[in-house]
Structure 1
């Protein structure tokens, strides 16, 4: 089994792509610096051209703790920021954390344990969505349910074991370097695409449910719709570039969108019996809202949130242009 380089507590580089994160950056970095891990750590913030006080906050954090390093990310794009931070790092373990996420105190210790135990090149856990406002809490419930996002273990939990992809990720640095890091042409779906190349290169991607990362959901319907539209759009790009990476779970949202619209239109134009598929989807949403909600307010909000997530993802998948990432072949 491949052991990590160095001592039982190898040095860790935690890398964060940061853009317009004045509300969450400080708490995110604090959760990293307060780890119970016994080995050396550094935190590399790849700061994009933010329109808020993000850079000011980052500089204050860095001046107060020498473990925090700032690198400039002129484009603000996630993949470039990750690569810039990766090039700045030298440690054998590279842990990605987002600036609006928070990790538990034993996260880094667990990561080293799992990397050593499994020999995996990338490990990750549960994207534990937690909201503050009633809308965010409703979105969080949908994101942690198979009714909202399908049965991905990093959303809904499950048994530890090899998977296709994980949330964020903690990597053996040499594995990242061997495949050239993140593909900077991808605005979204960098994780899916990167993990495909890691697996193609013989690596194992491993999920462990003990690795919980607190994720803050979008706070408005518009922001949620934009997020899921981009998810669908870029997941289609991955499926074009890497054949065989699509499955029925990813096809469900576009099929639901087309089926619902066709049913509604044909039901109006031809016969009420053609409303049946749309009615089935509506009943599914109602049942899912009952299952997920913990209050009357959440129930009614889920009637908006669930179709927004499903249909925005489906619309992005269907409308994704081939020109987003031209073929290199």
Structure 2
């Protein structure tokens, strides 16, 4: 069997880290051929203690904890790769729970030559129990929230631009230069972009499945999507042709709202156009919320889904625009 290293960047993940470790321990892949390398961003909660407790309870699991002093995800991934000893690397997230055959399916896809980076689909769940938390989870898998992101909405096996997490050969990762530590988010898409530019292929296989836990409130959701949007803008400076239609719509929507609002002080027609655009948008969101509420038999989605999707659109769209006009400085990357 191939030696596999599971690499996990984390920071303050006490709520979910044990769920991940339990799922890894229960994998169908032989434990003797498996190691786990967690790169912790110097967590200030009980993450490290929970990892230590799990290791004491499961001494058969080969687990190493390395420091990620920069705290960012790409630096954590690189520290984990540098410490890993496996021929194959399986990236996972502390917010995820892989299916029992996850690693086995990843290794099979790589061995069969389907792709240079292989991944699967998310079964999205809420880490919270309130109506907002459930609505955020629904929004993260709704076409209006994520467009054609196939790993979120489900798809047949096929070649794609990117996959969540991913599994790949260590040799390939080293050859293309590991993860770009100057991108604090969108590092996975950029990594896959370099793979494809080098002639490699990205394979999405629905047999590879994991549960992904979403944010539990609108504030943390807005912060997450602001970060996504801002760093997407930085990546677009290098790869301007990489933007997809679904990614262009939120910044265009945000720009149109701002443009019509400012124009309204000079042209009265702009106020009417702004009202029409907002009414149309809200109407579409309410229809989506009603549809989800009927399917899930819960009225909370009627308001919750529009609020969650709207937060995602506005945060991501405005952040991307801000990132275009306000590029990241080199000094900010060293803080």
Structures share a fold, TM > 0.5? Answer: yes
1:12-55 Cα distance to aligned partner (Å, 9 max, x none): 10011111011111111110111011361001111111110111
* TM-superposed deviation, 1:325: 6.4
Q: Secondary structure of the equivalent of 1:46?
A: strand
Q: Which residue of structure 2 lines up, in the alignment, with residue 84 of structure 1?
A: 79
From 47, 53, 62, the equivalent of 2:46 is 53
Q: Which runs of 4+ in 1 moved over 6 A?
A: none
Q: Which residue of structure 2 lines up, in the alignment, with residue 4 of structure 1?
A: none
Preserved CA contact (<8 Å) 2:157 2:204: yes
* TM-superposed deviation, 1:311: 0.5
Q: Which residue of structure 2 lines up, in the alignment, with residue 212 of structure 1?
A: 209
In 2: Cα distance, 1:264 partner to 1:300 partner:
25
Matches within 5 A, 1:79-228: 79-131=74-126, 132-133=128-129, 134-228=131-225
In 2: Cα distance, 1:138 partner to 1:18 partner:
25
Q: Which residue of structure 2 lines up, in the alignment, with residue 280 of structure 1?
A: 280
TM-score norm. by structure 1 comes to 0.91
Q: Which has the larger displacement, 132-141 or 153-162? A: 132-141
* TM-superposed deviation, 1:259: 2.1
Change (3 A) 1:219 1:254: same
* TM-superposed deviation, 1:299: 1.3
Q: Secondary structure of the equivalent of 2:45?
A: coil
Q: Which has the larger displacement, 60-69 or 135-144? A: 60-69
Cα RMSD, aligned residues only:
1.8
In 2: Cα distance, 1:205 partner to 1:110 partner:
15
Change (3 A) 1:263 1:278: farther
Change (3 A) 1:266 1:278: farther
Preserved CA contact (<8 Å) 1:62 1:69: no
In 2: Cα distance, 1:170 partner to 1:13 partner:
10
In 1: Cα distance, 2:209 partner to 2:261 partner:
41
Preserved CA contact (<8 Å) 1:142 1:292: no
* TM-superposed deviation, 1:306: 1.3
Structure 1 residue ranges without an equivalent (≥5): 1-8
Q: Which residue of structure 2 lines up, in the alignment, with residue 6 of structure 1?
A: none
Q: Secondary structure of the equivalent of 1:244?
A: helix
In 1: Cα distance, 2:306 partner to 2:65 partner:
42
Preserved CA contact (<8 Å) 1:16 1:82: yes
1:251-308 Cα distance to aligned partner (Å, 9 max, x none): 1001112223444565686145322222221222112222333221111112211110
Change (3 A) 1:286 1:260: farther
From 296, 301, 308, the equivalent of 2:299 is 296
1:53-101 Cα distance to aligned partner (Å, 9 max, x none): 1111222233442411111111221111111110111211100111121
Q: Secondary structure of the equivalent of 2:99?
A: coil
In 2: Cα distance, 1:92 partner to 1:53 partner:
31
In 1: Cα distance, 2:100 partner to 2:328 partner:
43
Matches within 5 A, 1:62-81: 62-63=55-56, 64-65=58-59, 66-81=61-76
Preserved CA contact (<8 Å) 2:7 2:90: yes
In 2: Cα distance, 1:212 partner to 1:220 partner:
25
Q: Which has the larger displacement, 255-264 or 191-200? A: 255-264
In 2: Cα distance, 1:306 partner to 1:254 partner:
14
TM-score norm. by structure 2 comes to 0.90
Q: Aligned residues, how many?
A: 318
In 2: Cα distance, 1:318 partner to 1:262 partner:
13
